[in-house]
Amino acid sequence: MKLVLATSNKGKLREITELCNEYEVVPYTDLIEAFEIIEDADTFKENALIKARAVYQALDNENVIVLADDSGISVEVLNGAPGVYSARYGGTNATDKDNLYKLIDALKAKGVKSSPAYYTAAIAIVSKNAERTVHGWMHGDVIDEARGEGGFGYDPMFVPAGYKQTVAELSSKIKKNLSHRSQALGLAKKILKTL
């Protein structure tokens, strides 16, 4: 079955392709030209649906299944920020590093070295017959420095509960066992089998 991903984010593409290796995973930009999708909802779930629906409609092919991931990090001392704004926390065209250092600065401005935080991943699946969403979460702490080279996004400053290392310092095998995205994809795969 061909699974079209409604993303051009390289980190997400890599992780989802790895975690869904029983499917033929194709970024939508391999099939049609990239286009802008306005993700202006208040929740990860609605933003994931916006992306999956937009790509499904643009593809105009009843035989594809589109999968979209919307994810982000919520920090307790920042009352849940950056949340759904995680990908553009450092500005409209912010890089991972821009976002990461803005969050480190925000912790420092609060006068804390760390804070409880959690990642959310919402995955939407849109096909001819179905629109479904699932979620996964990973809890831990954000710290006021970046450590490690693995992962992407806020991984270098995120220490999962029960660990001392950041996600960027842990092996990709451990990240696969722990991550919000892995958990959500595990549920998504159960849905894919029923479509």
Residue 73 has φ and ψ, to the nearest 5°, of -125, 140
Q: Which residue out of 40, 42, 70, 155 is catalytically annotated?
A: 70
63 or 79: CB nearest a second copy: 79
The single residue listed with the structure tokens 């980190």 is: 11
**Residue numbers of the site for a second copy (CB under 8 A)?**
43, 74, 76, 79-80, 83, 116, 118, 120, 134-135, 137, 139, 161-162, 187
126 or 134: CB nearest a second copy: 134
Q: What's the maximum distance between 2 C-alpha atoms anywhere in the chain?
A: 53
Active site residue 30: no
- Shortest Å distance, C-beta 33 to a second copy: 34
Cα 17–chain centre separation: 13
CB 23 within 8 A of CB 85: no
- Shortest Å distance, C-beta 21 to a second copy: 24
Q: Is 3 left (phi over 0), alpha (psi -120 to 50) or beta?
A: beta
- Shortest Å distance, C-beta 146 to a second copy: 23
91 or 186: CB nearest a second copy: 186
List the Cα angle 156/120/34 in 5-degree steps: 85
Residues carrying an active site annotation: 70
